[in-house]
Amino acid sequence: MNFIKNAINHMNGINDSIDGMNGIKNAINDINGIKNSINDINGIKNDINVIHVIKNDINFIHVIKNDINFIYGMKKDIKNYIKVIYGINNDMNDLNEIYGINNDIYGINNDIYGINNDINDKNNKYGINNDINDIYGNNNEMADIYEINNSINDIHGVIVIENSINGINSAIYGIKTSFMVSKRGPWNFLYVFLTNLWQKHVRAYIILSKCLHLVTKALIITTNK
Structural domain including 122 reads 2-224
Distance in angstroms (rounded) separating the CA atoms of residues 215 and 209? 10
Cα four-point dihedral sign 99, 100, 105, 108 = positive
Q: Which of 177, 169, 175 is nearest to 196 (CA)?
A: 169
What pLDDT was estimated at residue 204? Answer: 59
- Provide the whole-model pTM: 0.26
Based on its alpha-carbon atoms, the radius of gyration of the chain, rounded to whole angstroms, reads: 76
Return the axis-axis angle of helices 187-224 and 2-182, rounded to nearest 10°. Answer: 160
Ranges of the chain with pLDDT below 50:
178, 180-183
Residue type at 76? K
What pLDDT was estimated at residue 182? Answer: 44
What pLDDT was estimated at residue 68? Answer: 72
The total domain count for the chain is 1
Cite the beta strand spans of the chain per DSSP E. Answer: none
Query: What 3-state DSSP class applies to 219?
Result: helix
Distance in angstroms (rounded) separating the CA atoms of residues 145 and 139? 9
pLDDT tens digits, 79-135? 676 666 666 666 666 666 666 666 666 666 666 666 666 666 666 665 556 665 665
What pLDDT was estimated at residue 216? Answer: 66
Q: How far is CA 54 from the centre of its chain?
A: 70
